[in-house]
């Protein structure tokens, strides 16, 4: 099932699971069906990230052209609060975000097209996140956005705790500081 979210370019995918007493079987990606739902590749790289503890926040990350990436994100162990922020300067939803809970149990995937910053917070220990991308990792084109930018106001489920954030992610700029470079790269 493919569900368009509040920002319609973002798609929540719930693959069908066929279960019996042994467990279940699920096709987690079928190119033709995903393309019919507007999720097109080609996907060129698969990534995996493991976080040992709950409260780990990764992001918000993106790459600019010519290496901009679309992502198809899944959590195959544990539970994450996944977020995508619209950073397309000409978009009516610029600076808005959508969130979804992805877990091994619910099997949901989030499709994040180019032009969005992406990040997530682990809600349980031992989270394994896997995602496909449409462009190779390019350090020179990698950018980020502050997870706690008040202009965006993401309602992270932190329960009053501070997340564990990498030193690199703790120095990411706010959207207002990024906007001029986003407008330039969009031209």
Q: Kindly list the catalytic residues.
A: 61, 131
Beta bridge partners of 164: 56
User: What span, in angstroms and rounded, lies between the C-alpha atoms of 49 and 40?
Assistant: 23
User: What span, in angstroms and rounded, lies between the C-alpha atoms of 10 and 27?
Assistant: 20
Is it true that the peptide bond before 60 is cis, omega within 30 degrees of 0? Answer: yes
- The candidate with the shortest Cα–Cα distance to 71, out of 7, 9, 156, is 9
User: What span, in angstroms and rounded, lies between the C-alpha atoms of 101 and 151?
Assistant: 22
Alpha helices (runs of H) in the chain, residue ranges in sequence order: 31-36, 167-170, 175-186
**Residue 13, both tokens:** 């995918």
């Amino acid at each position: 099932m493919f569900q368009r979210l509040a920002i319609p370019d973002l798609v929540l995918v719930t693959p069908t699971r066929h279960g019996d007493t042994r467990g279940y079987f699920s096709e987690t990606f079928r190119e033709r069906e995903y393309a019919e739902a507007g999720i097109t590749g080609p996907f060129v790289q698969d990534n995996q990230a493991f976080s040992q503890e709950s409260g780990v926040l990764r992001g918000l990350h993106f790459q600019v052209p010519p290496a901009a990436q679309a992502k198809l994100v899944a959590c195959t162990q544990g539970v994450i609060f996944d977020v995508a922020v619209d950073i397309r300067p000409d978009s009516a939803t610029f600076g808005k975000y959508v969130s979804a809970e992805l877990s091994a149990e619910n099997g949901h995937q989030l499709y994040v097209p180019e032009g969005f910053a992406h990040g997530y917070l682990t809600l349980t220990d031992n989270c394994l996140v896997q995602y496909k991308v449409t462009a190779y990792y390019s350090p020179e084109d990698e950018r980020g956005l502050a997870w706690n930018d008040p202009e965006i106001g993401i309602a992270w489920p932190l329960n009053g705790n501070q997340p564990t954030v990498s030193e690199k992610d703790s120095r990411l700029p706010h959207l207002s500081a990024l906007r001029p470079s986003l407008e330039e790269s969009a031209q």
